[in-house]
Structure formats: C-alpha cells, structure tokens
Amino acid sequence: MIANLKIKNLVIERKKMNFNGQTQLYGFLAHPARHSLSPLMHNLSFQARQLNACYLAFDLKPTAFDLSAANLKNFFAGFNLSMPYKKQIIPYLDELTPQAQRIMAVNTVKNQAGHLIGESTDGAGLFADLQEKNQKLAGKNLMVLGAGGAGRAIIAAAADYQVKKVFVCKRPNQTFLAIKQWLQKISQSTTTEYQLIDYADQAALKSCLQQSQILINATNVGMDGQALPLTSAILEQLKAEQFVYDIIYQPLKTPLLHLAAQKGCSYANGVGMLLWQGALAFEFWTGQSMPLHQVKTALLNEIRRRSS
C-alpha cells in the first residue's frame, strides 16, 4: 500500500514538472514501439532521483532509420533499442562495451559528449535477477531455449558468472551454422562450455534437461498463453530442485511456468529481467541506481492493467 502511494505521488509530481532548455532527452527506438514499458520505468526513476530528464518511445520505421541514426547524438543523452535495430545501430556508434562486442548487438546507448557508446544489458539483467532470487550460478549447467537477440545476450553473459556449461537449443534453420560458429568463437575466451542442440533431436533435449540446474526460455513461445517451448514429454522430466525461468512477462505466468509449478520447481517470469536490464541502462546513463521496488510495483500494475 505504501509503495503504491509513493508511485502515485511520483506520477502526480511528474505531471507538475516543467521541462526546460536543460531537460535531457532519452528514448526507446523500435518498430513497433507503442507497447514499451521503458517510458514508465525511466520517467518514474528520473522523478525519484530528481533528474531533469524525460524518456519517450519512438516508433521508427525501417525506411527512416539511417537518416535518423546519423543524428541521434545531436538530440539524445541516451537511448534504448529493440528489434529490428539492435544490430543495425552499430555502424553509427563510436564504441562498444565488451559485452556488446561479444554478441554484436546493442540495447543501450550512452551519449558521452558526442561519443556514442553501445552496451547490452539484457544478459546481465537476467543474471542479476537470478542472483536476487538466490540462485547460485558458479559451476551450474544452464539450458537456454532460443538463440535470438535475448538468447544470445544470456548465452554470452553466462561466462561472466562462472557457469559451467550452457546447452543452447535452437531450431535447425538458416542461422544454425552461424550460431554454432559464434559459440565456438566466444568459448575461446572463457572456461564456460557451450553445446548447440538441434530442437529436432528430442533425445538430446531430454538429456540436456536432465543435466541442467536452470532452464531458461528465451523464445516468445508461451506468449499466447497456450504453447510450450518444449514437448510435454520432455518437460515431464523436470525435477523439483530445478529452477525454471521464462523471459516472457505477459502473461505473468506462461504455460511453462504453470507446468514448473506443478512439478514443484522454483520459477520466475521475465519481469525481473525487464526491471534489471532497465536498471543497468539507467545506471549506465546517469551513474545512479533505479528505485527498484517502486519501479517493479509500477511495472506489475501496468502489466496487469494491460492483461485485464
């Protein structure tokens, strides 16, 4: 109740703010962009930290991207990106952090006196959430479903947390070989072992699940509230001591998480990853911490409102 009152007061105070010539602009660039929860997170945080800044979502059409990207440093103090621009932005940046270099994708950019620095906070955001949930990562095996943008960020970041082995499960499509080569490349600079698994190999999937302590769904399968990312026969192998993480946050409880609950597993949805990747971006820009409890309460309220 107290947290809700604080958030309400912050929103009211935001409405009273007068933007001026010193207001710094931050934004979310994607197509589409209207669904984004980032403006809620960051504007609440700017107000809580008494920063003269605002954050807006921009639905940037692909045909306008090149012209817009060339001028970003003239307008933004920092910005986030989502599909389809996480890779497309790289030629316009002056520098990439080591994490962004590993996956050659960026979700956060800081304008440091006209010098654009690209960062990826998705992977670190997930692992920060796992640590907050008291999940020990060092020496553990992870099974990651999917090797898209979020999946690659998680896979690469695993090495920073001394994960023993990552089973990467992917459909045998046109990018399968490229992911295999990428895994071979990143494994050269870490003790973390990576193994690529073909989704068509049901026996291998079952074996990987049995060897893993943490299962992470990094696909959008389950967003419809009906589908499972693995067959029921494979997921029946889940044990109560395993942890199941679904990066989806709408719905808050996917079919995978319902099944995990039935098997007695501890589990989490993607709200924590969303929160932490935003918090890491906020700190990257401002050097200040995000008011996590207040922002999480606001996120949950908004997600539930959208689902009702």
What CATH number corresponds to the domain at position 109?
Answer: 3.40.50.10860
- Asked if pLDDT for residue 10 goes beyond 70, the answer is no
83 pLDDT band (50/70/90 cuts)? confident
What was the pLDDT predicted at 308?
86
Per residue in 123-168, pLDDT (tens digit) is 999 999 999 999 999 999 999 999 999 999 999 999 999 999 999 9
* 225 marked as part of a ligand binding site: no
For residues 55 and 138, membership in a common domain is answered with no
For residues 105 and 225, membership in a common domain is answered with no
* 64 marked as part of a ligand binding site: no
* 12 marked as part of a ligand binding site: no
For residues 113 and 128, membership in a common domain is answered with no
204 found inside a domain: yes
Q: Lowest mean pLDDT: which of 32-41, 59-68, 138-147, 231-240? A: 59-68
- Asked if pLDDT for residue 109 goes beyond 80, the answer is yes
DSSP secondary-structure letter at 174? T
Mean pLDDT of 5-17: 47
Report the catalytic residues.
86
16 found inside a domain: no
Nearest to 235 by CA among 141, 143, 123, 127: 143
In which domain, by residue range, is 73 found?
Answer: 24-119+275-307
For residues 113 and 33, membership in a common domain is answered with yes
For residues 57 and 138, membership in a common domain is answered with no
Per residue in 27-46, pLDDT (tens digit) is 999 999 999 999 999 999 99
* 256 marked as part of a ligand binding site: no
42 found inside a domain: yes
Q: What percent of the chain has pLDDT over 90?
A: 90
For residues 141 and 249, membership in a common domain is answered with yes
- Asked if pLDDT for residue 4 goes beyond 70, the answer is no
Amino acid found at 14? R
User: Could you give phi then psi for residue 197, rounded to 5 degrees?
Assistant: -120, 130
What was the pLDDT predicted at 16?
53
What is the chain's mean pLDDT, rounded?
94
* 147 marked as part of a ligand binding site: yes
- Asked if pLDDT for residue 304 goes beyond 90, the answer is yes
4 found inside a domain: no
In total, the chain counts a number of residues equal to: 308
- Whether residue 256 contacts residue 222, with contact meaning beta carbons closer than 8 Å, is answered with yes
Residue 214, classified by CB atoms within 10 Å of its CB into exposed (0-12), middle (13-18) or buried (19+), is buried
User: Could you give phi then psi for residue 20, rounded to 5 degrees?
Assistant: -145, -170
Mean pLDDT of 299-304: 97
* 249 marked as part of a ligand binding site: yes
- Whether residue 10 contacts residue 297, with contact meaning beta carbons closer than 8 Å, is answered with no
Distance between CA atoms of 144 and 219, rounded to whole angstroms? 9
197 found inside a domain: yes
The secondary structure of the chain in percent helix, strand, coil, rounded to multiples of 5, reads 45, 20, 35
For residues 179 and 106, membership in a common domain is answered with no
What was the pLDDT predicted at 17?
60
203 found inside a domain: yes
Distance between CA atoms of 8 and 2, rounded to whole angstroms? 10
148 found inside a domain: yes
* 245 marked as part of a ligand binding site: no
For residues 159 and 222, membership in a common domain is answered with yes
SS3 state of residue 118 = strand
Mean pLDDT of 174-192: 96
Distance between CA atoms of 308 and 303, rounded to whole angstroms? 9
8 found inside a domain: no
Mean pLDDT of 212-220: 98
What was the pLDDT predicted at 12?
41
Residue 157: CATH number of its domain: 3.40.50.720
Q: Lowest mean pLDDT: which of 8-17, 76-85, 286-295? A: 8-17
For residues 215 and 159, membership in a common domain is answered with yes
For residues 169 and 103, membership in a common domain is answered with no
Residue 9, classified by CB atoms within 10 Å of its CB into exposed (0-12), middle (13-18) or buried (19+), is exposed
Residue 305, classified by CB atoms within 10 Å of its CB into exposed (0-12), middle (13-18) or buried (19+), is exposed
Cα dihedral sign, 221-227-230-236: positive
- Asked if pLDDT for residue 11 goes beyond 80, the answer is no
* 129 marked as part of a ligand binding site: no
Cα(first)–Cα(last) distance of the chain, in Å? Answer: 21
Mean pLDDT of 96-101: 97
Mean pLDDT of 88-94: 96
**Across the strands, what pairs with 25?**
54
What was the pLDDT predicted at 35?
93
For residues 147 and 243, membership in a common domain is answered with yes
Q: Give Cα 248 distance to the centre of its chain.
A: 10
What was the pLDDT predicted at 136?
96
Number of compact structural domains in the chain? 2
For residues 52 and 167, membership in a common domain is answered with no
* 148 marked as part of a ligand binding site: yes
